[in-house]
Structure 1
Amino acid sequence: MKHHPLRSPALALAVSLMLVPAAWADGTAASAPVAALDNALIATMKSGSAGQDFQARYKALAPVVEQSYDLPEVTKNSVGFLWSTLPASQQNELINLFTTFTVSSYVSQFDSYNGQSLTIMPKEKVLGQKKIIETKLTPKDGGGVVIDYVVSNEKNGWKINDVLLNGTISQVAIHASDFASLVKSGDASQLIAALKTKINTLQGS
């Protein structure tokens, strides 16, 4: 298995998300989208090891990612304050492309199974109206990496709307940094082209 799909070369440019002191709360509903994603990622890795091709794994994983994430909101926040200046046609295209990019990234990175496990920690941190669900990715030989998912309660249930790398670094902030130079007021054509290139690279690999 490769590195987590939401890591980026722009990590050094990321802005740390300052977390206020948080209480701990037990719960299960908030962790449901993360649990569904974790199970689907294990299945994706096993399918990769079984020789299933990229498109088949993409087709199986896409519905779970789209259900687990609030991808329209993630896309909007990743583009930043210029989102409202973009025409509706570009906003819709960006949401579709960002969704494809997110799923393709997972399929590309979670490509083989060697006994790894994904475990949700038993406590949920409360951050205002949101919660942080901590997941540990553990290789067969021990150790592991902690991935924190930020979830909020939407009209259609709890959804993931950010990922915290190393516990504090917002993936949305990383995307916003990456995308800033590619969006102008009223025009996201450069970002659209860049996302298409990224997707082609991921799916080609």
Structure 2
Amino acid sequence: MHASPRRPLLLLAALLPATALAQASPAAVIEGFNATLLDIMKNARALGIRGRERRLRPVMEQAFNLPAMTRISIGPAWTQIPPAEQQALQRAFADWSIATFAGRFDGYAGESFQLSGENTLQSGDRLVRTQLVRPRDEPVALNYLMRDFGGAWRVVDVYLSGTVSELASRRAEFTGLLREGGAARLEAELRRRTELLLRG
């Protein structure tokens, strides 16, 4: 990755212990996450899909609020699901989300991540805008919606191509699966997709 004035911050965020990261700014959280993604991309073949998943898991569990993302993606139906099934769905959703990132970032051809801005929304959430810069193609916008959980900024949504909410796109699908067979049907589908992704 090319040198930039932000590079020291990026490296610092990547090396911060969990207690320090809890106080990190939204941009620092994302820069630390992107540093891990870039390292995984550079070592993608050696790691394989399962190795990438293992490397990503602790970083995503720290930078993302995966339980909150599960609730948001399911929507109002969440309150009707018994607690034990809620916990099973949160585990299945987390596993699938991590495997999805491990599958997406599967190689390196000179790419770099660039922070392109940060906005405070009316809700108090922050939107951190980044780009995956590709040497031989157009950059890809990856924007992260960040929420403050007791002083710790965590991702609660990802906007692909800059504007397409992953959680909004999942909600309609998840609603259909819940109608088909309740929480057990949704959990089984998430487990099936995770297994397929981890086959590589």
* Pairwise same-fold verdict (TM > 0.5): yes
Instruction: After superposing the two structures, state which structure 1 stretch, 142-151 or 63-72, moved more.
Output: 142-151
Letter in 2 for 1:127: L
Give yes or no for the alignment of 1:159 onto 2:158: no
**More helix as a share of residues:** 2
Say which is worse superposed, 97-106 or 133-142, in terms of deviation: 133-142
How far apart are the structure 2 equivalents of 1:79 and 1:185? 14
Change (3 A) 1:143 1:184: closer
Q: Which runs of 5+ in 1 are unaligned?
A: 1-27
Residue number in structure 1 paired with 2:121: 127
Alignment partner of 1:69 is 2:29 = no
Aligned residue pairs total 176
Give the alignment partner of residue 37 of structure 1, picking from 26, 33, 38: 33
1-structure distance, mates of 2:48, 2:166:
28
In 1, the alpha carbon distance for the partners of 2:47 and 2:73 equals: 32
Are residues 169 and 143 of structure 1, via their aligned partners in 2, closer, same or farther at CA, if it must alter by over 3 Å? closer
Match of 1:140 in 2: 135
1:73-152 counterparts in 2 under 5 A?
Answer: 73-121=68-116, 123-128=117-122, 129-141=124-136, 143-152=138-147
Cα separation, 2, equivalents of 1:81 and 1:178: 14
Residues 104 and 186 of structure 1: is their aligned pair in 2 closer, same or farther, counting only changes over 3 Å?
closer
Query: Secondary structure at the residue paired with 1:43?
Result: helix
Match of 1:178 among 170, 173, 180: 173
Q: Distance in 1 between matches of 2:142 and 2:70?
A: 20
Give, as a single letter, the amino acid of the residue that structure 2 aligns with 1:135: T
> How far 1:54 sits from its partner (Å)?
2.2
1:11 aligned partner: none
The structure whose RCO (Cα within 8 Å, separation 6+) is larger is: 1
SS of 2:143's partner is: strand
Normalised to the residue count of structure 2, the TM-score between the two structures is 0.82
Does the 8 Å CA contact 1:85/1:186 hold for their aligned counterparts? no
Q: Secondary structure at the match of 1:112?
A: coil
Q: Conserved in 2, the CA contact under 8 Å of 1:37 and 1:68? A: yes
Following TM superposition, by how much is the alpha carbon of 1:186 offset from its aligned partner in structure 2, in angstroms?
9.8
Q: What is the Cα-based RMSD across aligned positions, in Å?
A: 1.8
> Runs (4+) of structure 1 moved beyond 6 Å?
none
- TM-score, reference length from structure 1: 0.80
> How far apart, in 2, do the equivalents of 1:165 and 1:63 lie?
22
Q: How far apart are the structure 2 equivalents of 1:167 and 1:53?
A: 28
Aligned to 2:43: 47
Query: Deviation at 1:184?
Result: 4.2
Q: SS of the counterpart of 2:138?
A: coil
